[in-house]
Amino acid sequence: MAKAANPRIEILLGLLDEAFEARAWHGTNLRGSVRGIDARAAAWRPGKGRHSIRELVVHAAYWKYAARRRLAGEKRGSFALTGSNWFTRREAADEKGWKTDVALLLDEHRKLREVVAAFPPAALDKRIPPGRFTMFRLIQGVACHDLYHAGQIQLLKKLQRA
């Protein structure tokens, strides 16, 4: 992957990569956590009202989209699925649907990474309305979000085997 022209952008790209798919000292990243999971395991719920791995994957894809949209100044409403935040995936364990959801996550990560790589460094300190966070923290937060859900997925995999 090409290096960014600005050290702060380079740091953010490194965080995004490590949390999503690059080898990391901390253990499994988000992409690694879903590697090798079949549709049945992705659809499993630990209890009523709890999220499945499949729902966590689509949720992560949505927030990559939402962050990208904010960074690029795009309007809402262009996500691949109708709705926002949490998307109930009640279909039977369907390999095609599961692979489509994983592909959505990969695609949204790629698009977000492209926007971050081209992001103007001077705008990193711009505050996002209502003014609590900067663009830098938004990008950093996506990496944290990936790792948070990677941990949840790792736990769900262990619970299934228990």
Residue 1 has pLDDT above 60, yes or no: no
- With respect to residue 2, please indicate whether it lies within any of the assigned structural domains: no
Concatenated DSSP letters for 59-107? HHHHHHHHHHHHHHTPPS--SSSSSSS-----S-S-HHHHHHHHHHHHH
- Domain residues for the domain of 130 are 7-161
Instruction: Evaluate whether 98 touches 35 at the Cβ level (below 8 Å).
Output: no
Q: Alpha-carbon Rg of the chain, whole angstroms?
A: 16
Please report the pLDDT score of residue 21 as a whole number: 95
Please report the pLDDT score of residue 32 as a whole number: 97
Residue 117 has pLDDT above 80, yes or no: yes
- Helix-helix angle 95-117:7-20, to 10 degrees: 170
Please report the pLDDT score of residue 93 as a whole number: 72
- With respect to residue 125, please indicate whether it lies within any of the assigned structural domains: yes
The tokens describing 133, both together, are 């966070």
- With respect to residue 1, please indicate whether it lies within any of the assigned structural domains: no
- With respect to residue 23, please indicate whether it lies within any of the assigned structural domains: yes
Pairwise pLDDT comparison (31 vs 1), residue with the higher score = 31
Per-residue pLDDT tens over the stretch 65-105: 999 999 999 888 889 888 889 888 766 678 999 999 999 99
Average of pLDDT values for 27-42?
95
- With respect to residue 136, please indicate whether it lies within any of the assigned structural domains: yes
Domain count, the chain: 1
Pairwise pLDDT comparison (5 vs 160), residue with the higher score = 160
Please report the pLDDT score of residue 152 as a whole number: 97
0.75 surpassed by pTM: yes
- For 12, residues 6+ apart whose C-beta sits below 8 A from its C-beta are 116, 124, 136, 139, 140, 143
- For 9, residues 6+ apart whose C-beta sits below 8 A from its C-beta are 116, 117, 119, 121, 124
CATH number (domain holding residue 41): 1.20.120.450
Please report the pLDDT score of residue 81 as a whole number: 82
Please report the pLDDT score of residue 161 as a whole number: 87
Please report the pLDDT score of residue 82 as a whole number: 86
Query: What mean pLDDT value characterizes the chain?
Result: 92
DSSP 8-state code for residue 27: S
Please report the pLDDT score of residue 76 as a whole number: 83
